[in-house]
Amino acid sequence: MSDLAIVDVGVSYGRFVAVRDVTLAVPAGTTLALVGESGSGKSSLAHAIARLLPPGTGLTGSVQVGGRELASLRGRDLRDVRGRVVSYLAQDAMAALNPVMRVGRQVGEVFARHQGLSRRESAGRAGDLLRRVGIQAPDLVARKFPHELSGGMRQRVMIAIALALAPEVLVADEPTTALDVTVQAEILALVRALQAERGFAIVWITHDMGVVAEIADDVAVMYGGRIVEQGPVRDVFAAPAHPYTRALIEAAREQPDTAAKARFLTIVGQPPAGELPSGCSFHPRCPVAIDRCSTERPGSRLIGEGRHAACHLAG
């Protein structure tokens, strides 16, 4: 399995820049959690990595898997990479699945399309895979339509599809947000077990700091399209360096209820939309900002082993 390297990635929709200068490394077999408020650019970055941005979207920088550049691929090369090198797991399994096709067929289609297997061979492989994602009666489930399954079962089917071609990188965009806590825990355990067995790298987007602690080795915090802090989860949680990270962690502590936690309700002020503030984007909301913060944008710098933060006051 291979490492994922993201270097200076930018995403823009027309004149609006959603992601700026993002550099991250995710070694094979490890999980990076990506957190930040709604609109901070998490899904845009996820779509850039999985090469799923809508046509016409600007993508700059480099996305490498095992040294192979994905950012410049087009057409057939790009289709060949999706699902086989990088797979994407979406939040809404109901929307991602075809409502009028039985789920076994949908899993089997991946093999039929990419590996040219016959319908019978594909069905066999689909059954094996459904069993691997913890579905007890795969033959029965394979004959169901998506709406006949529970949310957790549908997400298991999505995981089966995402991992069917044994990708090197899994990009998971809040795949458990819509599930209740028990089912969420089962899905996290399943993905971790599959990762331990196969060794793929994961980028896991979440609003939930509990999920970060549960699944990730490293965490990257996004604000206004930039990564403002990154490092090993344990170190960042023990001593967050950026005031925004501190606010996120405090908000999660004060609001153990997941619904509230999901929205980071207690962080005062609004995240930037459109034009970014001068200097540090967070300065209008920052409780410890100094004069310099409104005029000079802090670059990301090394503040400890494997730790980076973009704050004039960090380190």
Ligand X SMILES: Nc1ncnc2c1ncn2[C@@H]1O[C@H](COP(=O)(O)OP(=O)(O)OP(=O)(O)O)[C@@H](O)[C@H]1O
The residue ranges that bind Mg ion (CB under 5 A) are: 42-43
In this structure, is the dihedral angle defined by the CA atoms of residues 136, 217, 312 and 24, taken in order, positive or negative?
Answer: negative
Report the sign of the C-alpha dihedral through residues 113, 117, 121, 127, in that order: negative
Q: Which two tokens stand for residue 142?
A: 């394979």
Question: If contact means CB under 5 to 8 A according to the sort of partner, which of ligand X, Mg ion, none does residue 41 touch?
Answer: ligand X
DSSP H helices, 143-180, are 151-163
Collect all residues with Cβ–Cβ distance below 8 Å to 266 and sequence separation of at least 6: 247, 250, 251, 254, 255
Stretch that binds ligand X, among 13-21, 120-128, 132-140, 175-183 (CB under 6 A): 13-21
Stretch that binds ligand X, among 23-31, 38-46, 66-74, 302-310 (CB under 6 A): 38-46
Instruction: Choose the contact partner of 95 out of Mg ion, ligand X, none; CB within 5 to 8 A by kind.
Output: none
Q: Which is nearer to ligand X, 28 or 262 (CB)?
A: 262
Q: How far is the CB of 1 from Mg ion (least distance, A)?
A: 26
59 binds, among ligand X, Mg ion, none (CB under 5 to 8 A by kind): none
CA dihedral 157, 159, 162, 167 (to 10 degrees): -140
Helix orientation angle between 151-163 and 119-132, rounded to the nearest 10 degrees: 120
In this chain, which stretch among 31-39, 152-160, 187-195, 289-297 interacts with ligand X, using CB under 6 A? 31-39
Which residue in 17, 11, 46, 38 sits closest to 274, CA to CA?
Answer: 17
Cα within 13 Å of Cα(164), Cβ side: 30
Q: Which does 54 bind (CB under 5 to 8 A by kind): ligand X, Mg ion, none?
A: ligand X
Sole binder of ligand X in the list 20, 26, 33, 42 (CB under 6 A) = 42
- Which residue from 4, 22, 24, 44 is in contact with ligand X, where contact means CB under 6 A? 44
Of 195 and 206, the one with the shorter C-beta distance to ligand X is: 206
Please give the DSSP secondary-structure letter assigned to residue 291.
G
Distance (Å, whole) CA 237 – CA 215: 14
For residue 162, give the nearest of 236, 248, 226, 97 by alpha carbon: 97
Map the footprint of ligand X across residues 236-275, applying CB under 6 A.
Answer: 273
Cα 212 to Cα 163: distance, rounded to the nearest angstrom: 21
| Interface segment toward ligand X; rule CB under 6 A; list 42-50, 81-89, 287-295, 296-304 | 42-50
51 binds ligand X (CB under 6 A): no
Options 4, 5, 6, 18; binder of ligand X; rule CB under 6 A: 18
**Where in 281-310 is the site for ligand X (CB under 6 A)?**
none
Residue number, nearest CB to Mg ion:
43
Least distance to ligand X from the beta carbon of 54, Å? 5
List phi, psi (to 5°) of 273. -130, 135
Q: List residues binding ligand X (CB under 6 A).
A: 13, 16, 18, 36, 38-44, 54, 273
